[in-house]
Structure 1
Amino acid sequence: MTSKLARTRTPSRARAGRPRDSSKHQAILQATRELVNDVGYRGLTLKAIASKASVTRNVLYNWWDGDINRIVEEALLPNVNEWAVPDNGSFAADIDEFLDLTIEAIYKPDVLKGFLTLAAEIVDDQGQLRETSRYFRAPYARLVAKIVKQAEARDEICANLDPKHLAQMISGSVLQFAISKNPGRRNTKAVLSTMIQKIAAK
């Protein structure tokens, strides 16, 4: 079967004209999450999304160029490019804010379930994994790199801390904690914040 995410795609961009209707937009994303859970990623169709969200397929073409991959990505994966770089005057405060953003994005039950379904279906597909990496992992690592660079400029942390490895550790740990429900959402931030500060300590 041809990989959906492996297909060549045009860059995501907003089309000129009327702005998106917020209620329809959210209905489409919710319908996509529910359908991924019901029929799986490979069973998803534009017709099914439109029907479940009570919109016409024209809406999906107008807003996402009819590209089902972009709809799935927006529904299931955090758009890190929309996150502001935390800049609170200290590495500890910046990491705490970043952890809040990550936990809020991953711990939503329908998002988590859909993300796990997506991951299970593409785990052996290198083309799809690369596409997912470009959408989520690379921007996530770039944001961590900016936090690390700010901390280095303040001489707060050890030199040569690898932002890419730190980003993988944070996102992987939050996902693992969410799946296992241990140490629980309330304690996840405290556990990871302490761990990261120990790793980064001079």
Structure 2
Amino acid sequence: MTSAPNALRRSESSRHATLDAAMALCAEHGYGRLTIEAIAARAGVSKKTIYRWWPSKGSVVLEAIYEMGRQTANFPDTGDLQADLHTQLSAVIRLLTPPYRSALTGVIAEALNDPDLAAELRESLIRPYIAQFEDRLRRAQEQGQLHPDADLTVALDLVYGPIYHRLAFHLGLPEPSYLDTLIEHALRALAPGGRQAPT
């Protein structure tokens, strides 16, 4: 007896095919030339199917980035804060280099003029990673590795700011040795012996 087709499995297969197609097309042609029509053709699904799940190409690409980041850019906790920051920032840098760069930078650029996509980017991708960062640094504070009054919002800017500055102004993303230097200087500013934040 033949079992009935599993609609849920079929939908999940189509979703993954769509996300894979969006990322592949971004890598091949750039985010600016990406269209829903091209994604549908590459994924073997209809435009109607895509629009049923996502409101725009930016939403498709954002979910694809989220899926990749969930697998590669989570924040480790080995007990060595400097090493953990290096591991996590290296994963971020990989997402900002080909073949992934066009997808992520394209979504960020489009979000500047699309409030809905900006909110989706912030809530689905940015805030969760900020929360992971703050949780990791809070544990470091509890272990005495950082000053108890270190401002974690400032710490976020100190650690991640240089990467996006160098990306935006085409200065070249940090090589591993330079990344170590950036992290070392940021942690020095947050060290237990540092000056306390003003009250």
Aligned to 1:49: 39
Q: Aligned match of 1:17 in 9, 14, 18?
A: 9
CA contact (8 A) 1:144 1:166 kept: no
CA contact (8 A) 1:76 1:114 kept: yes
Structure ID, larger Rg: 2
Q: Distance in 1 between matches of 2:129 and 2:35?
A: 28
What secondary structure, in the 3-state scheme, does the structure 1 residue paired with 2:93 have? helix
What are the Cα deviations for residues 132-176 of structure 1, in whole angstroms up to 9, with x where unaligned?
A: 211222111101011112211211111133333333443332233
What secondary structure, in the 3-state scheme, does the structure 1 residue paired with 2:13 have? coil
Q: Aligned match of 2:20 in 22, 26, 33?
A: 26
CA contact (8 A) 2:66 2:125 kept: yes
Q: Distance in 1 between matches of 2:173 and 2:18?
A: 36
Q: Distance in 2 between matches of 1:171 and 1:84?
A: 15
Given the two structures, how large is their TM-score scaled by the length of structure 1? Answer: 0.69
- Which of structures 1 and 2 has the larger relative contact order (alpha carbons within 8 angstroms, sep 6+)? 1
* % identity of equivalent residues: 17
Q: Counterparts of 1:69-84 in structure 2 under 5 Å? A: 69-76=58-65, 80-82=69-71, 83-84=73-74
CA contact (8 A) 1:145 1:163 kept: yes
CA contact (8 A) 2:155 2:190 kept: no
Answer yes or no: is 1:102 the counterpart of 2:95. no
Amino acid at match of 1:28: A
Q: Distance in 2 between matches of 1:170 and 1:95?
A: 9
Report deviation, 1:184.
4.0
* Runs (5+) with no aligned partner, structure 2: 1-6, 193-199
What are the Cα deviations for residues 92-130 of structure 1, in whole angstroms up to 9, with x where unaligned?
A: 222222222222222x22432343333333324444433
Greater alpha carbon shift after TM alignment, 164-173 vs 191-200: 164-173
| Runs of 4+ with deviation above 6 angstroms | 21-24
Aligned to 1:173: 162
What value does the CA root-mean-square deviation take over the aligned residues? 3.4
Given the two structures, how large is their TM-score scaled by the length of structure 2? Answer: 0.70
Q: Aligned match of 1:37 in 2, 22, 31?
A: 31
CA contact (8 A) 1:31 1:49 kept: yes
